[in-house]
Structure 1
Amino acid sequence: MRLLMLGGTEFAGRAVVEAALGRGWEVTVFHRGRHEPPAGVVPLLGDRTRPDGLAALARGEWDVVVDTWSSDPVAVRDAARLLAGRAGRYVYVSSRSVHTWPPAAGLSEDGPLVASSPDATGVPYAEAKRGGELAAVAAFGEERVLSGRAGLIIGPWENVGRLPWWLNRIARGGPVLAPGPHDLALQYIDVRDMAAWLLDACEAGLSGPYNLVSEPGHTTMGELLDACVRATGSDAELRWRDPETVLGAGIEPWSGLPIWLPPGEAYDAMHTGDVSKALAAGLRCRPAAETVADTWAWLCGLGGTAPQRTDRPAVGITPEQEAKVLGP
């Protein structure tokens, strides 16, 4: 298979590239040159946000294009239009955020969607992802487009900082604020499992939208943080506090304490999606302990400092915020 990866040097794109190389695929990586692409790919340089930024893609043919773009849909529109006659399929890494808010607990791919357009610019994340889906379909047609609607993505190469923050905090040891409840069910996907399923789906000729996360309750907040303690070998003591205590201290869910959302509307939206369609199509998710251990090994190889996307704010709380909740 010949793969064109739009991006491919960071997180989700990097995982797709590594998975494709592992299968012996021929991989071309179109990127801006900010990071070195993996060895073994054909690199093409360009910036799709600039005039003539797609010039490097004017020639060439591929079986599959994979695109993780999450900003203005016009960038997906322009790339898809350019490639429609020279590529077999277009795989767009979308998001479950494309559903209108608040999405009901247990929502499948058929739920109501936000309004958007392939021509949209300057729109919020949900509209950007939905517009990207529409742009791909407009150029390639429904039968040649696969939209993988991801939720929470963690694992090696993460450049958002969620799991790396927990690993680094727990590695420092001592009392650690653990947001409860301990048995709070989590739904996420290891980026490598996402990449593997997308390539499997390409080989199987699948199309249409698929919710692309684990089953609800694949792990729990307690299991995840316990795995962080084991992976780091830390003497950290997890001190569990109920959601009311954490929220009462002014700590923001998701951004202040990454991954964690207290039970309620946002939790239902993020951690209870219906993924039966993807599971029936072969999605398999590795144990949380493996994701945590591999992410820690990768992080240690970087000296403990994970890459950070410039378009996303840093996550985590300060020692002062933590101490306020834990007390003396």
Structure 2
Amino acid sequence: MTDTDIDTALVVGGTRFIGRHAVEDLLDHGYEVAIFNRGNHENPFEDDDRVTRVEGDRTDDTDLKAAKLSVEPDVVIDCVAYYPADVEAAVEIFSDVDAYVFVSSGSAYGREEIPKREGETPLCECTPEQAEDDSDETYGPRKAEGDRVVFEAAMDGVNAMSVRPCIVYGPHDYTERLDYWISRVEEYDRIVVPGDGTNLWHRAYVEDVASALRVVAERGTPGEAYNVGDRRLATLEETVELIADAAGESVDVVHAGERELAAAGLSPDDFVLYREYPHVMDTNKLSDLGWESTPLDEAMAVTVDEHRDSDRDGEEWDPGRDAEESVLEILDTL
């Protein structure tokens, strides 16, 4: 399959975060694009005559079939398949498209090892009960089972592939995980970072995830999964420093251990993007397709600029500035 074989793309989702950027990337590369969703969120492409919207519920097979008949897509990017049953329906309905790409997750991996590699690191198991559960605890197992559906479909001749992003950041990130740290940098001179600052949780710039979805659709191998993440990883402390550089701010990163945090009623896990065991994914397989990631400073500059234009502040992740001030006072006395 070459880049010119595909000219019409259907993005299931397409208005919030990864899907929104996927639409923009596809448009930038000459695709005709349609989005399929229920209309529960604002459509950023409402006034863009290059993007067709088909209304429907992706869990309703009749709606999904109608979208296929209406759009006649060459490629399908599935951003909102959260249950194995969603993927099962999609690979059947879109069994004859040139490429079906399932947005999976790095959470699908079921073993802690460095790095996590496609086809080597075991995936999470998924019980029938987990396959229908909607809790955060079953997210990884559900995505892993979705991957297995893709693999089985490819064995039956469906051009189905999977892309596994790690934690995604960038413009329009409704999770607001990085917004918390950007807000901290812009509001305070001293920033509490749990541990020694070297904890590592692999992240992926959203525009790179979008380009990965297109590249896999164009050049990927059916039945394969592809990790996507920044090619250069940044520790939590380095992330704060990248934010400060992008924001033109000067901050003092203060490390706080478990004892100092506990004295203020906090723990390292109270700080978003902290992870005790490193989460690192090998991205060489995707890179071999010709995909490239954006330099971290460029990605962060765009992310900070968009944050300033938004109303997001990451407040839901805030461990409490008063508690942080207590930690700083404790550290100042040591």
Structure 2 distance, partners of 1:252, 1:90, is 42
Match of 2:102 in 1: 92
Match of 1:282 in 2: 290
2:228 aligned with 1:212: yes
Structure 1 distance, partners of 2:187, 2:229, is 30
Of 271, 275, 288, the residue aligned with 1:257 is 271
Structure 1 residue 81, shift from structure 2 partner: 2.0
Structure 1 distance, partners of 2:245, 2:104, is 33
Amino acid corresponding to residue 321 of structure 2 in structure 1: P
Structure 1 residue 194, shift from structure 2 partner: 1.6
CA contact 2:258–2:268 (8 Å) conserved in 1: no
2:24 aligned with 1:18: yes
Match of 1:318 in 2: 320
Match of 2:177 in 1: 162
Alignment of 1:173-184 (within 5 A): 173-184=188-199
Structure 1 residue 143, shift from structure 2 partner: 6.0
CA contact 1:197–1:282 (8 Å) conserved in 2: no
Structure 1 distance, partners of 2:146, 2:12, is 13
TM-score (norm 2): 0.83
Between Structure 1 and Structure 2, how many residues are aligned?
312
Structure 1 residue 253, shift from structure 2 partner: 4.3
Structure 1 distance, partners of 2:159, 2:297, is 36
Indicate how the Cα distance of structure 1 residues 187 and 244 shifts in structure 2: closer, same or farther if over 3 A, else same.
Answer: farther
Q: Secondary structure, in 3 states, of the residue corresponding to 1:147?
A: strand
The alignment-based identity, stated in percent, is 27
Match of 1:133 in 2: 147
Aligned-residue RMSD, C-alpha: 2.8
Deviations 1:286-306 (A, max 9, x none): 22222221111112222x326
Match of 1:36 in 2: 43
CA contact 1:117–1:134 (8 Å) conserved in 2: no
Between Structure 1 and Structure 2, which shows a larger proportion of helix residues?
Answer: 2
Match of 1:144 in 2: 159
TM-score (norm 1): 0.84
Amino acid corresponding to residue 54 of structure 1 in structure 2: L
Match of 2:4 in 1: none
2:109 aligned with 1:108: no
Amino acid corresponding to residue 316 of structure 1 in structure 2: D
CA contact 1:46–1:55 (8 Å) conserved in 2: no
Deviations 1:281-323 (A, max 9, x none): 3332222222221111112222x326x9xxxx93231112212
Amino acid corresponding to residue 272 of structure 2 in structure 1: P
Structure 1 residue 244, shift from structure 2 partner: 5.3
Structure 1 residue 241, shift from structure 2 partner: 2.5
CA contact 1:30–1:46 (8 Å) conserved in 2: yes
Q: Secondary structure, in 3 states, of the residue corresponding to 1:178?
A: strand
Alignment of 1:291-310 (within 5 A): 291-302=299-310, 304-305=311-312
CA contact 2:12–2:58 (8 Å) conserved in 1: no
Amino acid corresponding to residue 10 of structure 2 in structure 1: L
Q: Secondary structure, in 3 states, of the residue corresponding to 2:132?
A: coil
Structure 1 residue 165, shift from structure 2 partner: 1.0
Indicate how the Cα distance of structure 1 residues 200 and 49 shifts in structure 2: closer, same or farther if over 3 A, else same.
Answer: closer
Q: Secondary structure, in 3 states, of the residue corresponding to 1:219?
A: coil
**Structure 1 portions without partners, runs of 5+:** none
Of 76, 80, 83, the residue aligned with 2:91 is 80
Structure 1 distance, partners of 2:198, 2:126, is 37
2:82 aligned with 1:71: yes
Amino acid corresponding to residue 67 of structure 2 in structure 1: L
Indicate how the Cα distance of structure 1 residues 53 and 62 shifts in structure 2: closer, same or farther if over 3 A, else same.
Answer: closer
Indicate how the Cα distance of structure 1 residues 194 and 181 shifts in structure 2: closer, same or farther if over 3 A, else same.
Answer: same
Q: Secondary structure, in 3 states, of the residue corresponding to 1:327?
A: helix
**Structure 2 portions without partners, runs of 5+:** 1-6
Deviations 1:139-179 (A, max 9, x none): 45466122111111111121111111111121112322123
